[in-house]
Chains A and B, each alone.
Chain A
């Protein structure tokens, strides 16, 4: 069997797919006079379409005292305009045979419907309506803020791992609003008012701060025409200047412990690292991406093979990194120790794996393997209209532009073993590190576990 992986270029792979239009021409882009950008990717594989509206407004744009308002407003977007009543939006989408939802992140808020293709026009009409005409009824707000508090209890307060991640971010970031949870602090939710939601909506929900993405069995010219018809009449308004709130350089390790009802300890390590700012000139973010794949890209990657399988130090061990973000970047390492092993031992094990890469580098074979997975993943992504719409929207709202995706793949494929070793050495160091540890607390009335069961 071959050990050196001869590469199939992504271009060659795409050529294997019969497109009705040249691959390079798709997606298509158009900007309205009011600043709204519309991107359409034609995909004729099924008579459906994914329609998304992205706003460049996320939890990082919130201020102290009103954290969680970006997400709360996302909920309120379903509560009616003068044209359609509270709850009618979902009813109309359902009647059209569609599925819809929305999500909020640190960087953005996005809304989407998946519909039979002939219903796209109606979805665009509905989204354009609520882009600028949301009612924000106080009574609806009273109920919906309760729902958001239940969501916080479900997803964070009662989930030790989520609570750990929340604490880690709050300690790793001190000046930058990435320190704040997307769901918001509970007390801020308790003291939120409908006026807070209104202020947020007026400030950020304008066509010049939004992107419309459509992927599916559609004709781009027709979609542009519909965009002009429904989104075109909306007035633009300048968005306020955003304070940079740059995170000052970290110059020493930080540690935080969280106690919660649980059984397994968790070690979560986060290093401050760069993200892509210049698609073409940057080097380090691509190398970091490859590093995370080499550490955790498959079951025989470094962490799984060494820490879980061979040393049995960990019952789980993983790494993660996102190269695109509006704010600062983090490289994550996370795991739980095996029975009878301590969190300190696991942390030492993670450090040893990093040190090994700094000392000996990574092999050409490992790097080629990570690249093979990357290229295959680009093809698999084409099986999902929604995944393609997600990628386009994220790249646009971050500010890199959707056309960056091809360049990014090429840059990833060009990463060298030397640069992977280099970024590990420069960035995975204590001065950039925050370590968060989950200290499991037994449930009241938990049966005592016999000590013998822990030993192997």
Chain B
């Protein structure tokens, strides 16, 4: 083809794609509050409700080595007693106005969220309590002792479960001698003192590191006021540096006995950091390998053709430091060996060949086509924008998502996978099995 024809053809193709898939993300307003907190706001008056999420770099990777579980315990106690209100008053008053405080802790991030109706008399009560939970938690000694005991009991129970055992062994093997690899134990929780919570809170819940995401029925000026009000009295702690980059593990297999009827299998390695330019190639490629549900290769080979498993998947978990690539499945213990072999064959074939043209097209078509489903509720918008906010992704990340997906070629996928997945670094964990 002459250069002119190629150019015309490419332009035409781009035009067709753009018109079919032109879906922009929500309009995200962004500013830095006088408190130092970064604020991200999506105004939406369709429903009389408000969702706010405040994120801190206070995840489990910040636990001191001998006190794994500190980040999680600190977070849990935030709403169990604040200045002027005990835990029962907090819960009752929130329920009185139909508001809900929730949240969670993963390895990078601690999130505290509020969902409330937006009419003033409800909203003001909810915001008042939310501000206290963020700014003046008391960590009462008796509540702390009780919650410690509950955690230990719950942890002991989860340590009997094959899925928990597999997950902990996986993180430990994939991230040896690294903060991401540590998990709480009954001993590490027992070692935590109340002062540790106060210190952790002071050090990690500061305004300068806080990220506030607001979605819903507020005006811009109201959102500015709310964001400042929520963060003005946060501690002035300095941001602690995050964990170093993990070193790659050597390939190996760990087998842990368990009496369960099924073996739980996990395979993986450190793979993907937030903001990595290979992100889209890996996402698109993973769809074919094991991310695309029923249409993926792993599903076809392990479940559909052989009936080995109900659930088999692969995914990349992008994190502040390279988060894991993981393949997982559960299968009757007698056939664990066979299922593992089929899984490994699927992976090695994919690494060698990458997706076919048809598979690549199907992946892009689904990821681009289903994009509106990611944003069709306030809750989903909140989740998406909070990730952009916390990880410092570009504000037009959602607007350009489809375009970035469409650009990926089969060569990009093969190259990205070869950069991020190496057989000599893949760790395997099998819990149960013969």
Q: Is the CB of A147 within 8 A of B307?
A: yes
Against B, the Cβ 8 Å flags (1 = close, 0 = not) of A116-142 are 100100000000000000000000001
Interface size on A, residues (CB 8 A): 81
Against B, the Cβ 8 Å flags (1 = close, 0 = not) of A364-394 are 0000111011011101101111000000000
Contacts of A308 in B (CB 8 A): 150
Instruction: Find residues 400-447 in chain A having any chain B CB closer than 8 Å to their own CB.
Output: 440, 443-446
Query: A87 at the A/B interface (Cβ < 8 Å)?
Result: yes
Contacts of A309 in B (CB 8 A): 87-88, 143, 146
Shortest Cβ distance from residue B413 to the other chain A in the assembled complex, whole angstroms: 18
The distance in angstroms between the C-alpha atoms of A377 and B306, with both chains bound, is: 44
Check A116/B87 contact, CB under 8 A, given A18-B46, A379-B48: no
Q: Is the CB of A443 within 8 A of B369?
A: no
Query: B132 at the A/B interface (Cβ < 8 Å)?
Result: no
One of A25-33, A52-60, A151-159, A219-227 contacting the partner: A151-159
Check A90/B96 contact, CB under 8 A, given A48-B376, A143-B304, A153-B261: no
Q: Which residue of A lies closest to B287 (CB)?
A: A94
Check A298/B92 contact, CB under 8 A, given A90-B293, A261-B260, A376-B99: yes
Check A373/B98 contact, CB under 8 A, given A99-B373, A262-B160: yes
Instruction: Find residues 304-322 in chain A having any chain B CB closer than 8 Å to their own CB.
Output: 304-305, 308-309, 312, 315-316
Q: Is the CB of A154 within 8 A of B330?
A: yes
Contacts of A256 in B (CB 8 A): none
Q: Is the CB of B304 within 8 A of A87?
A: yes
Contacts of A383 in B (CB 8 A): 47, 49, 377-379
Q: Is the CB of B48 within 8 A of A13?
A: yes
Q: Which residue of A lies closest to B156 (CB)?
A: A263
Of B154, B261, B308, B370, which contacts A158 at CB under 8 A?
A: B261
Against A, the Cβ 8 Å flags (1 = close, 0 = not) of B46-69 are 111100000000000000000000
Query: A451 at the A/B interface (Cβ < 8 Å)?
Result: no
Check A48/B94 contact, CB under 8 A, given A153-B262, A264-B156, A380-B49: no
Instruction: Find residues 208-262 in chain B having any chain A CB closer than 8 Å to their own CB.
Output: 257-262
Against A, the Cβ 8 Å flags (1 = close, 0 = not) of B115-129 are 101010010010000
Instruction: Find residues 161-218 in chain B having any chain A CB closer than 8 Å to their own CB.
Output: 162, 186, 190
Q: Is the CB of B157 within 8 A of A48?
A: no
The distance in angstroms between the C-alpha atoms of A16 and B217, with both chains bound, is: 11
Of B262, B300, B370, B378, which contacts A154 at CB under 8 A?
A: B262
One of B10-18, B343-351, B360-368, B388-396 contacting the partner: B360-368
Check A456/B91 contact, CB under 8 A, given A94-B362, A150-B310: no
Q: Which residue of A lies closest to B21 (CB)?
A: A97
Check A315/B150 contact, CB under 8 A, given A147-B303, A300-B91, A369-B92: yes
Q: Which residue of B lies closest to A293 (CB)?
A: B95
Contacts of A17 in B (CB 8 A): 46-48
Query: A95 at the A/B interface (Cβ < 8 Å)?
Result: yes
Against A, the Cβ 8 Å flags (1 = close, 0 = not) of B282-315 are 0000000000111100001001111111110000
Contacts of B146 in A (CB 8 A): 309, 312
The distance in angstroms between the C-alpha atoms of A258 and B416, with both chains bound, is: 50
Against B, the Cβ 8 Å flags (1 = close, 0 = not) of A12-48 are 0100111000000000000000000000000001111
The distance in angstroms between the C-alpha atoms of A309 and B87, with both chains bound, is: 9
Q: Which residue of B lies closest to A378 (CB)?
A: B98
Query: A334 at the A/B interface (Cβ < 8 Å)?
Result: no
Check A143/B149 contact, CB under 8 A, given A5-B96, A116-B372, A298-B92: no
Against B, the Cβ 8 Å flags (1 = close, 0 = not) of A229-271 are 0000000000000000000000000000000011110000000
Contacts of B378 in A (CB 8 A): 383
Against B, the Cβ 8 Å flags (1 = close, 0 = not) of A86-115 are 110011001111110000000000000011
Q: Is the CB of A154 within 8 A of B310?
A: yes
Query: A338 at the A/B interface (Cβ < 8 Å)?
Result: yes
Shortest Cβ distance from residue B355 to the other chain A in the assembled complex, whole angstroms: 14
Check A263/B157 contact, CB under 8 A, given A147-B309, A300-B88: yes
Q: Is the CB of A379 within 8 A of B307?
A: no
Contacts of B376 in A (CB 8 A): 45-48, 385
The distance in angstroms between the C-alpha atoms of A305 and B90, with both chains bound, is: 12
The distance in angstroms between the C-alpha atoms of A262 and B158, with both chains bound, is: 8
Of A45, A316, A369, which contacts B96 at CB under 8 A?
A: A369
Q: Is the CB of B311 within 8 A of A444?
A: no
Q: Is the CB of B365 within 8 A of A154?
A: no
Of B95, B294, B371, which contacts A373 at CB under 8 A?
A: B95
Shortest Cβ distance from residue A279 to the other chain B in the assembled complex, whole angstroms: 24
Query: A1 at the A/B interface (Cβ < 8 Å)?
Result: yes
The distance in angstroms between the C-alpha atoms of A370 and B125, with both chains bound, is: 17
Q: Which residue of B lies closest to A443 (CB)?
A: B160
Contacts of B115 in A (CB 8 A): 380
Query: B135 at the A/B interface (Cβ < 8 Å)?
Result: no
Contacts of A74 in B (CB 8 A): none
Query: B97 at the A/B interface (Cβ < 8 Å)?
Result: yes
Q: Is the CB of B92 within 8 A of A453?
A: no
Between A and B, 18 residue pairs with Cβ closer than 8 Å are: A13-B117, A90-B295, A94-B294, A97-B370, A98-B369, A115-B373, A116-B369, A116-B373, A154-B262, A157-B260, A262-B160, A263-B156, A263-B157, A300-B92, A309-B143, A369-B95, A377-B98, A382-B47
Task: List residues of B whose CB falls within 8 A of some A CB.
Answer: 23, 45-49, 79, 87-99, 115, 117, 119, 122, 125, 143, 145-146, 149-150, 152-154, 156-157, 159-160, 162, 186, 190, 257-262, 292-295, 300, 303-311, 330-332, 362, 365-366, 368-373, 375-379
Q: Which 4 A-B pairs have the closest CB atoms?
A: A97-B369, A376-B98, A146-B307, A46-B376
Please name 9 further chain A to chain B contacts, defined as beta carbons within 8 Å, in addition to the given A45-B376, A339-B152, sorted by A numbering: A46-B377, A95-B366, A116-B372, A150-B309, A158-B261, A300-B91, A305-B88, A316-B154, A383-B379
